[in-house]
Structure 1
Amino acid sequence: MYPLDTVTIHQFRGLQDLELKDLGQINLLVGMNNCGKTSVLEALLLYANPLDIKTWLTLSRLREGALRLPSSRFESLQWLFPKQPQILEAESIPTGIKISSQGASAIKEIAINYQDREEIRFFVKPEPVTPEDVFEEYEKEFQETSSRLELDIEITQNPKSPNLKGMIPVGVERKIIFEGTGKASIFPELKKEWKKLSLPIAIITPESHRSNFGQLRLLSKASFENFKFDVIQLLKIMDDDIEDLEILINPQTVSHQASIYIQHKKLGLTPLNTFGDGVRRLLHIALQLPRAKDGILLIDELESTIHTEALEESFQYQRIVQILHQLRADFLQECNVYFGGGTLLALMYGEYRQSQNIDFLCSDRQGYRQLREAIFTQQYAALFKNTEGLSFPREIRADRYGVRFPIMIDDVNIRLEIVSEGRIELDDPDTLEWCPVPSLSLIDRAAEKLLANSDRWMDSSVLSRDLIDLAILAYHGDLPDRSFIKAEAAYPVREPLKRAIAAFRELADGGDRYYQALQIQNPTQIREGLEQLSRVR
């Protein structure tokens, strides 16, 4: 269960009765300009933490960006609420904010209304007099106007939320008051346990990466919490020559303002602001990820950060994961059929290369027989619990070597194959949190790749993908000795591995053609993994 499986925005800005159903790990909102996509993100930001004053202040300025137009805070807050139509004949609409959801979130529904209050205070102040008027008394009447905005917030808790374990779900009512002086307060004050109502969330806007101070704080937090290395690895996807990030004050200037510098292999120490918006915004996304852990990351105008060609690869893996979710996992488990191959590794290790196939393996003769019989009588119904969004160009082909068929999804062809594994006996499968089907164990994942490399390392059409996959396993420390022992019980794998590494290193372009063909964005991991593989004895 995700924090939000379904969200209904009953009323927020110009949105009314908008339902977002069947939300997954990654969700895209696509539409024309000014159709409300940003409003949806704002509604989710508010829903995640409606009792946080900072959230309200962020929302009030979110659309102003770097320009900081001098709009009134009150006016900005008021425009979060639906407005009555100006046409007299038009049907009136409620003016409050109302959002509800289903999922693991501690909040089930919020309802918010606001009131404008203005106070006028009259007082008399003595007026300065001249010496000539010393015997006369002068007084002048003054008036002082103060305004404030009151938000009345009602929260309905979700009794099924794991965040509220041990708490008795009750309704929560609070009032947030924004004074004209800039002061803001909440009544009654929140107890510490009410923090469990909030959902971790971060939002990326087209302008948010331009705040130097904000970036400095986020990078400092990354350094203190030991995830700066991960941030750098993400940046390497866009520019493999990026080596490090530093917060420095340029000694050649009189300014005492610190800035972020990138240690670049070709350019040396270079200010972040000299790089393009793509690198700067990707850095901002990477730095915001920890804030959204176990929660939601909202990105407005994603396409302005990552080129559409790069997005296509991620969409390809999303299609594969969707297909996995539609398979009959219980039947595959019953037949001892396990997900494996390069696609499994790509999904496990950050989608480091392209893979368009879904591979399963079965070493259980009885299980493979059961699988074949079910396919013979039921065809696709034997494997899929539902086929929504999928089409199948032909019938399933099955023989003693395996089961094969193509799947069309979003006009993209993906091949699924179940291989009858006769070389080694597979261990009990792993259960991966993100994967809905049984998957090869760590030992078998590596053993199968060692065997595959032995079979086809001399075939240039394979693009050394098995060697590259083994390099990734070595880079992440997931190449156990037991995998070598298990694979070599079938046939030799160590000597073919050494020859494959030597052949790869002799490539005139250093493997760049293979990296490009497999859409590998970070060859550094592969090179370091190959170095570790070369030490295998």
Structure 2
Amino acid sequence: MLDSLTIRNFRLFEDLTIERLGRVNLIVGKNNSGKSCLLEAIELLVSGFSPQVVFGILERRSEYQAPLTSSRPERLAPARNSDPHPVSNLFFGRSLEHTSIRLQADAGKNRIDLRVDASYYADNDRHRPEYLGPQPVIGAANRRFLQIHRLADGNESPRPLLPLDLDLAEAVSHLGTSGGPAIVQVSATGLSGDDIGRYWNALALQPLQRRVVAALTAVFPEILDVTVNYDPDLGEYLIRVRLADGGITTVNSLGDGVRRLFGLLLAVTAARNGFLLIDEIEIGLHWSVQQALWQSLFTFAEDLDVQVFATTHSEDTVSAFASVWSGHEDAGAFHRLQQHPKTRKATVHTYELETLSGSLETDSEVR
């Protein structure tokens, strides 16, 4: 679990430090204050700046779109002669030149300290990294790589992460996946049907599956049971519910809130021993169910060793969080991101439970 976090030169964060993180963290702030950027920085940090995570982040933001046809690596121009590479969007000022992203965190007795930059390697450089994927443009004198330095290990030798002279999807497709903690990312649109099916099947014949169903039915008592099955005719997973009146229907017929809550409950189980990142957690959820959601998230997170980071715009969500946090005082943390009105520098303020509760009671602005 991360106890603190420092981000430098990542997106709009020139230098941001959160000194205290909890097991369950709620992050608020105005539009463009950096809430989603913070989730992305955490995802990159705990994945060791995985190229697959880089690809996913850029694709979710539409900062990269794969070519419509299969790429021809031998026809791709070197990065120095092409449009800015998509990964430049991750760097402060959107520049790969003379800039390094720095992600640091304390995690118990361990420290994570990553520096990521882009460098050229000459073809005749005996220290150039080996890469088994497509080769660069024929005759190109240099190859540029996104590279990582793991400073906490005392290792200043960079490890190549991603070749930048090739199409991003083409390059990532030739890289193996690296191990690490579970990381589950839930966007504002919720989990896909495939993710819901995969997470549900992973709980088959486990008591945890019944706990998920019990948590859902406690909020929606008209639901007695839930099942998720793949429909080969439709080519997708269907979530069906059995109702108290004896009827059976799909979860979509009950509204977005039921599907959203069910997805979040599955997501926290899939993040066991890892991290759950939720953007705009309140989407689709009525204020009346949010306290029950937070109670489930705190309980599941503590039982399954999950660290949760969620963002919101909703005052109802903040109030529900504060109410449940009071029963799990050592587990929660509340962070407000903002930008300095003149310098536009991003800053963060972390609230104690007493301070947050007092602000809510006096109707002070905390969102």
The answer, yes or no, to whether TM exceeds 0.5 is yes
SS at match of 1:28: strand
CA offset at residue 111 of structure 1?
Answer: 0.6
Paired AA for residue 152 in structure 1: Q
2:199–2:270 contact (8 Å) kept in structure 1: no
SS at match of 1:203: strand
Counterpart-to-counterpart distance in 2, 1:75 and 1:281: 35
| Structure 1 position 43 matched with structure 2 position 65 | no
Which structure ranks higher in relative contact order (CA pairs < 8 Å, sequence separation ≥ 6)?
Answer: 2
CA offset at residue 170 of structure 1?
Answer: 4.9
More strand by share: 2
State the identity as a percent. Answer: 22
Which residue does 1:203 correspond to in 2? 185
CA offset at residue 223 of structure 1?
Answer: 1.7
Which residue does 1:80 correspond to in 2? 90
**Structure-2 change in CA distance of 1:249 and 1:177 (3 Å):** closer
Counterpart-to-counterpart distance in 2, 1:240 and 1:279: 11
Counterpart-to-counterpart distance in 1, 2:111 and 2:154: 11
**Structure-2 change in CA distance of 1:243 and 1:389 (3 Å):** closer
Paired AA for residue 37 in structure 1: K
Correspondent of 2:202 among 208, 216, 221: 221
| Structure 1 position 33 matched with structure 2 position 31 | yes
| Structure 1 position 272 matched with structure 2 position 251 | yes
Paired AA for residue 323 in structure 2: Q
**Residues 99-110 of structure 1 aligned to structure 2 (within 5 Å):** 99-104=103-108, 106-110=110-114
CA offset at residue 63 of structure 1?
Answer: 2.6
Correspondent of 1:318 among 297, 305, 325: 325
Deviation string 1:28-56 (CA, Å, 9 cap, x unpaired) is 21111111110000000000012533322
Deviation string 1:49-100 (CA, Å, 9 cap, x unpaired) is 1253332222222334xxx984679844331122258xxxxxx995321111
SS at match of 1:223: coil
**Residues 1-400 of structure 1 aligned to structure 2 (within 5 Å):** 3-64=1-62, 70=65, 75-83=85-93, 94-104=98-108, 106-115=110-119, 119-121=136-138, 150-157=145-152, 169-171=153-155, 173-178=158-163, 179-180=166-167, 182-184=170-172, 195=179, 198-209=180-191, 211-223=192-204, 225-248=206-229, 254-255=233-234, 257-266=236-245, 268-309=247-288, 310=290, 311=317, 312-322=319-329
2:22–2:330 contact (8 Å) kept in structure 1: no
Deviates further, 276-285 or 6-15: 276-285
**Structure-2 change in CA distance of 1:77 and 1:281 (3 Å):** farther
Paired AA for residue 177 in structure 1: L
SS at match of 1:83: helix
Deviation string 1:437-475 (CA, Å, 9 cap, x unpaired) is xxxxxxxxxxxxxxxxxxxxxxxxxxxxxxxxxxxxxxx
1:61–1:76 contact (8 Å) kept in structure 2: no
SS at match of 2:99: coil
**Residues 456-471 of structure 1 aligned to structure 2 (within 5 Å):** none
SS at match of 1:213: helix
Q: Which of structure 1's runs of 4+ aligned residues deviate more than 6 A?
A: 71-74
Q: Which residues of structure 1 form unaligned runs of 5+?
A: 86-91, 123-144, 158-168, 326-387, 392-407, 414-537
2:29–2:35 contact (8 Å) kept in structure 1: yes
2:194–2:236 contact (8 Å) kept in structure 1: no
1:8–1:99 contact (8 Å) kept in structure 2: yes
1:174–1:186 contact (8 Å) kept in structure 2: no
Root mean square deviation of aligned Cα: 4.0
1:99–1:111 contact (8 Å) kept in structure 2: yes
Deviates further, 296-305 or 236-245: 236-245
**Structure-2 change in CA distance of 1:20 and 1:226 (3 Å):** same
**Structure-2 change in CA distance of 1:93 and 1:231 (3 Å):** same
SS at match of 1:34: coil
Deviation string 1:168-221 (CA, Å, 9 cap, x unpaired) is x5537421235436143789x89xxx84xx343322111242x22222111111
Counterpart-to-counterpart distance in 1, 2:277 and 2:161: 25
**Structure-2 change in CA distance of 1:319 and 1:33 (3 Å):** same
Paired AA for residue 63 in structure 1: R
Counterpart-to-counterpart distance in 1, 2:282 and 2:331: 27
More helix by share: 1
Paired AA for residue 138 in structure 2: R
1:12–1:97 contact (8 Å) kept in structure 2: yes
CA offset at residue 115 of structure 1?
Answer: 4.9
**Structure-2 change in CA distance of 1:170 and 1:292 (3 Å):** farther
CA offset at residue 18 of structure 1?
Answer: 0.8
**Structure-2 change in CA distance of 1:69 and 1:84 (3 Å):** closer
Counterpart-to-counterpart distance in 1, 2:106 and 2:37: 20
**Structure-2 change in CA distance of 1:98 and 1:320 (3 Å):** same
Counterpart-to-counterpart distance in 2, 1:148 and 1:258: 43
Paired AA for residue 78 in structure 1: S
CA offset at residue 296 of structure 1?
Answer: 2.5
CA offset at residue 149 of structure 1?
Answer: 6.3
Which residue does 2:303 correspond to in 1? none
Aligned residues: 281
**Structure-2 change in CA distance of 1:93 and 1:215 (3 Å):** same
Deviation string 1:247-280 (CA, Å, 9 cap, x unpaired) is 34669xx545442222222472222333322221
Q: TM-score, normalised by structure 2?
A: 0.63
Q: Which residues of structure 2 form unaligned runs of 5+?
A: 72-83, 122-134, 291-316, 333-351, 363-367
